[in-house]
Amino acid sequence: MNVIEQLLKLQELDTRLRQVEKRVLKDIPSRKQAMTSSLDARKNAVASAKEALKARQLELKHAEAEVEAQKEKISKLRMQQYELKSNKEFRAMEEEIRGFEKGVSELEDKALSIMEEVDAAKRKVDESERDLAEEAKQVQQEISELDRMARELEGQLANLRSARAEAAGSVDAKWLVYYERIMHGREPAVVAVEDGICGGCHMKLPPSAYHEAKKQNDVVTCGYCGRMLYVKPD
């Protein structure tokens, strides 16, 4: 196996390593974070809805308490009517009582409206909590599956790193350093020449570079991008 063949094997392993590392270090954590963030947003929305429901329930409680207070005031006025000495005073108090009764009617209408809103809000909160529980269950299942995939990929990484170390050990040190320097900034480092064109920078190569790359007696590099060249067999 010549140097180019060794480097191509190493490059294939490096490409696979980068793909698996990306899945383990970036893709899977990103997916988990997205699912967790979505679930947290749903939890916050449910919590906000519950707080809004509590506020409306408190408002209803206050409205009902005000209705009872007004009714109690009317009851006391009715009792006081029996102690009045003149019809004028009686009629005046009757007018005052009717005013309170009108206020009670308005308060009762308000309380009824709030009660309907509370019932609707409670149904919505109950539905949201059921949906949240279902989503939390689904997210947990998906995260467990992603964790399983990550463990499996970690095993693949260990095997690939071992194979990569073995492959790198067979490459001449000079060309290994050159290869890794190119891979660090502009992979791939080893590219095919097709129709006399470098597969890395896509520049037209001198005929001599093409012929030397085809022989594969030695490593030939592109005069434009520095990548190592090879020609696919016919």
Residues 155-214 have pLDDT tens digits of 999 999 999 999 999 999 999 999 999 998 888 999 999 989 999 999 999 999 988 888
Determine if the pTM surpasses 0.85. no
Please list the alpha-helical segments (H only) found in 170-229.
173-186, 207-215
The domain defined by 9-170 folds into Helix Hairpins (1.10.287)
Give 93-161 as a DSSP string: HHHHHHHHHHHHHHHHHHHHHHHHHHHHHHHHHHHHHHHHHHHHHHHHHHHHHHHHHHHHHHHHHHHHH
- Parse the chain into domains and list their residue ranges: 9-170, 172-234
d(CA 84, CA 94): 11
If residue 191 lies in a helix (H) or strand (E), which one and from where to where?
Answer: strand 190-194
d(CA 92, CA 123): 47
pLDDT at 62 over 80: yes
Tell me what pLDDT residue 94 has: 87
Tell me what pLDDT residue 93 has: 85
